[in-house]
Amino acid sequence: MKVGVVSDVHNNVEALTYALDHLRDCDLVLGLGDLVSDYHVDPRILQVARERGLVSIAGNHEKSILLHPGSQIRSTLSADTLDFLRQLPAAREIDLDGRCVHVAHGAPWDDPNDYRCAYVLERDLVTLGRVAATTRAEVVLLGHTHRAMTVRTEGTLVINPGSCGEARDAAQRLTFARLDAAAGVASVFLVRPGLEPERLLQADF
């Protein structure tokens, strides 16, 4: 089984389309939240997500639209768009050929009724250990930081595919990920419009 992963797209139709085109051979493509932004929802991004069968969760931006008392955009959105956002779960668990994969936006302990999400960073070993202890999953997929990482902690591989829409690292890189269960390899790739994606990170699981 092959699983594609995108996160923090923030309405970037071009980058999402690029990633999905290069993940066509995947059996499933997961979205880790923040497909949209809490100040703008591009209808084209929802159309791409629906047409390409993206299986998503809610990020802090989707939750902010729905939950924040000061949301300026909620009342301007169509019923169809609001239904799309409301149907996104806060987390998922999937079976990847016998491996348990936990999917969350910020951290596994984020409150689904609070628009705020925790940051899990590569250098924060204490928080990474809490991720492993909280889920007991073999693989945990997280977004939110806009920074790609593959870190093994206490027997759990924690993967952040980075952002496929709004770069925030020093190199201004957009990225996405692929998990190949048969090969036991997780890879993070750079978005390179007009070119083939370049592998940035790789980890065995």
Q: How much is the pLDDT for 110?
A: 97
Name the phi and psi angles at 84, rounded to 5.
-60, -45
What single-letter DSSP state applies at residue 27?
S
pTM of the shown model: 0.96
pLDDT of 169 higher than 90: no
Q: Which amino acid is at 163?
A: S
- C-alpha to C-alpha distances, 7 to 2, 30, 71, 118, 143, nearest whole angstrom: 17, 8, 22, 15, 6
- Could you tell me what percent of the chain has a pLDDT over 90? 98
**3-state DSSP assignment of residue 72:** coil
Average pLDDT over every residue of 28-38:
98
User: How many structural domains are present in the chain?
Assistant: 1
Q: How much is the pLDDT for 48?
A: 98
CA distance 184 to 139: 11
Q: Are 124 and 151 in contact (CB under 8 A)?
A: no
Mean pLDDT of the chain: 97
CA distance 184 to 56: 23
Q: How much is the pLDDT for 136?
A: 86
Residues composing the chain: 205
pLDDT in tens, 37-67: 999 999 999 999 999 999 999 999 999 999 9
pLDDT in tens, 128-154: 999 999 998 999 999 999 999 999 999
Q: How much is the pLDDT for 121?
A: 97
Which value, to the nearest 10 degrees, does the dihedral of the CA atoms of residues 167, 60, 118, 16 take? -30
What single-letter DSSP state applies at residue 70?
T
pLDDT in tens, 66-96: 999 999 999 999 999 999 999 999 999 999 9
Q: How much is the pLDDT for 111?
A: 97
Average pLDDT over every residue of 25-45:
98
For 43, the domain range is 2-204
Q: Among 45, 54, 106, 51, which Cα is nearest to 81's?
A: 45
Average pLDDT over every residue of 114-125:
96
- CATH code of the domain in which 102 resides: 3.60.21.10
